[in-house]
Amino acid sequence: MSEYNLTRSMIDRFLPEPIVRSNPYYKSSAPMRLWKEEDVLRVLSENKELARVLKEKAKKKEARRKRAMEKSAEAIEFLKQFSPDDLIAQGREMKRHFVLHVGPTNSGKTYDAIQALKKAETGLYLGPLRLLALEMFENLNMDSCPCNLLTGEEFEPIPMARHTASTIELCDFDRHYDVVVIDEAQLIADPFRGAGWTNAICLVNADEVHVCLAPEAKNLIENLLIAMNTEYDIVEHERLVPLEFSGVFKDINGVKPGDALIAFSRKRVLAISAVLEKRGIKSSVIYGALPPAARREETRKFAEKETRVVVATDAIGMGISLPIKRVIFVQTDKFDGQQQRPLTVSEIKQVAGRAGRFGKYDLGEVLTMDNKHLISSALKDDVPSIEKLQIAFPKEALEYDYPLGKLLSQWDNLEKSEFYSREDMTEAEYLLEKLGNHAKGVSHDVLYNLITCPVDIKNDMLVNYWLECCINILKGEDLRQPNFGEYNLELCELKYQAYDVYHQLLRRIGIEDDCLEDKERLCNKINKFLLKKKRDYLRHCRICGRELPISCAYNLCDECHEKNKYRYWD
């Protein structure tokens, strides 16, 4: 008989019936078995064997606890050794010349860097978005500079190409280049992706590295280059077209060709576009969940004047070249995953900076339908300087003899540094927890590859599909392609994202299946939905049913809100 059973049987034998009490905090949990302290002490004094067993059990439990604490302390000390110092030391050994292109949006900094890339025998462009890599890929090839495309979604080789346009995470550190361009380097502080820029600046193998960045990142990146004892020049860029605040935008009927209306949710963007098209104003839409090919088509229609205006989220703020004359903020707050909050100075400037197009508009205008003071003051203010770069979770830790989940947790909870931050691994922890017992006995390397696959963890259907694919991989079974319906826009977008998950997971086990035909078919279907079904997204008052104006933040019209503002709604 085991010690546990012996102990339980002796307790049950010698102690009176326990008091059975439900846990008041967890009513769904099993009832607790409770005994009076005097009864326990009496039985232990009368039954030496029971006392001995319980004492030995307590010793073993305490020993296990101490071993776990020691192992945890060892893991913490192991993780603490990883800092930017090693990256800086490696960068110091490389002979490179840096050129920092510093300037706001629409200042031509990326354009100038690309001119140097075109002249090089071999070159690499590194950007934050597939759309940016795709734009550079197309531009270089159109300018008779053969260029490959490499992103998380696809690899498109071009015959005789000696240049590559890539997303930052896929940087090839083993190959030598004459010129490398690292774009949008202010993202070095991003909690989830910033380590990609840190690694690229420290480790990319090139004779000349052009880094394009916003002014708020200048001091941080300059100090990083000084620490690496690297030669560098700074080129300051000014906006090519002036930007001014033009006041309050009062009426949607006042939209003009070249306007960009900005909201901060997919549904709001589609609702605004529906209102415009109901009034005979054709519009393009751009938001984060829109597949790249569909987003590209919406961009083309606006650029070629098939649509008069564009309605977009802050996805428009980076990497999309559009002929925008006026940026109009329909909303001035956004949900950041935790709370609804006002826009920051950086967010306002990034989006507002898209107004004005050199060679087309002599002035960029910014208007708002809400919170005039917030927008006008942000355009005058400087963006706070970025103080910390970010480092990646160390791959060396995957060889450490300690549970992966605990390693990730320890990494996230290490003492903060005033000089750098650590890659946020909370999403990976969440996905590892989802794997549950399926992760038992699986090597850290395999698990890490699975749980760092890009997945929108806020979408349960997508996470469940990811989980199904991971279980198939761990069992050595074939992966099922996504079988979500295609009855509406949301399902088509979801299925496209699921294809990305499918492709990414296969790539991580050495299989290439980019599903391009299926994705292209889905994008065509999405474009048709955007063309014909936008009216489904018109917003109506939930009480009286009248159509809501685009500036209305809630699902009540002003009249119904006034009548019912003192009532509580379930």
CB count within 10 Å of CB 63 equals 10
Please check whether the two domains, 84-236 and 245-379, share a CATH topology: yes
Q: Is residue 569 over pLDDT 50? A: no
Nearest Cα to Cα of residue 205 among 224, 178, 185: 178
Largest Cα–Cα distance in the chain?
Answer: 96
What pLDDT score was predicted for residue 4? 38
Please give the structure tokens belonging to residue 39: 């009864």
Q: What's the whole-number mean pLDDT along residues 77-100?
A: 94
For residues 366 and 358, give the distance between their C-alpha atoms in angstroms, rounded to a whole number.
16
Domain ranges of the chain: 3-80, 84-236, 245-379, 403-534
270 DSSP 8-state letter: H
Please give the structure tokens belonging to residue 234: 């700074």
Please give the structure tokens belonging to residue 375: 């927008």
Residue type, 110: T
CATH number for the domain formed by residue range(s) 245-379:
3.40.50.300
What pLDDT score was predicted for residue 15? 54
CB count within 10 Å of CB 413 equals 11
More confident residue, 390 or 510: 390
CATH number for the domain formed by residue range(s) 84-236:
3.40.50.300
For residues 278 and 268, give the distance between their C-alpha atoms in angstroms, rounded to a whole number.
15
For residues 559 and 557, give the distance between their C-alpha atoms in angstroms, rounded to a whole number.
6
Please give the structure tokens belonging to residue 9: 């049987």
Nearest Cα to Cα of residue 152 among 466, 512, 527: 512
Q: What's the whole-number mean pLDDT along residues 344-373?
A: 91
pLDDT-derived band at 251 (thresholds 50, 70, 90) equals: confident
pLDDT-derived band at 115 (thresholds 50, 70, 90) equals: very high
Write the pLDDT tens digit of every residue in 153-202: 778 899 999 999 999 999 999 999 999 999 999 999 998 899 999 999 99
- Give the list of residues 6+ apart from residue 356 with CB closer than 8 angstroms, or none: 106, 239, 240, 241, 242, 243, 324, 325, 362, 363, 364, 365
CB of 448 within 8 A of CB of 396? no
What pLDDT score was predicted for residue 58? 78
Within a 13 Å sphere around the CA of 242, how many CA atoms are in the beta-carbon half?
5
What is the CA 119 to chain-centroid distance, rounded? 33
Element (H, E) at 293: helix 292-303
What pLDDT score was predicted for residue 332? 94
Q: What's the whole-number mean pLDDT along residues 226-251?
A: 94
Write the pLDDT tens digit of every residue in 11-35: 555 555 554 444 454 444 555 555 6
CB of 202 within 8 A of CB of 224? yes
- Give the list of residues 6+ apart from residue 423 with CB closer than 8 angstroms, or none: 191, 192, 194, 195, 390, 391, 392, 393, 411
Helix (H, G, I), strand (E, B) or coil at 83: coil
Q: What is the DSSP string of 216-266?
A: GGHHHHHHHHHHTT-EEEEEE---SS-EEEEEE---GGG--TTEEEE-SSH
For residues 33 and 35, give the distance between their C-alpha atoms in angstroms, rounded to a whole number.
7
Write the pLDDT tens digit of every residue in 262-272: 999 888 999 99
How deeply is 467 buried, as exposed, middle or buried, from its count of CB atoms within 10 A (0-12, 13-18, 19+)? Answer: middle
Write the pLDDT tens digit of every residue in 455-466: 999 999 999 999
CB of 409 within 8 A of CB of 433? no
For residues 361 and 67, give the distance between their C-alpha atoms in angstroms, rounded to a whole number.
69
Residue type, 172: D
Q: Specify the range with the lowest mean pLDDT, choosing from 42-51, 255-264, 383-392, 408-417.
A: 42-51
Give the pTM.
Answer: 0.83
* Per-residue exposure over 513-551, b if at least 16 CB sit within 10 Å of its own CB, e if not: ebbeebbeebbebbbebbeeebeebbbebeeeeeebebb
Q: What is the DSSP string of 140-172?
A: HHHTT--EEEE-SS-EE--TT--EEEEEGGG--
What pLDDT score was predicted for residue 317? 79
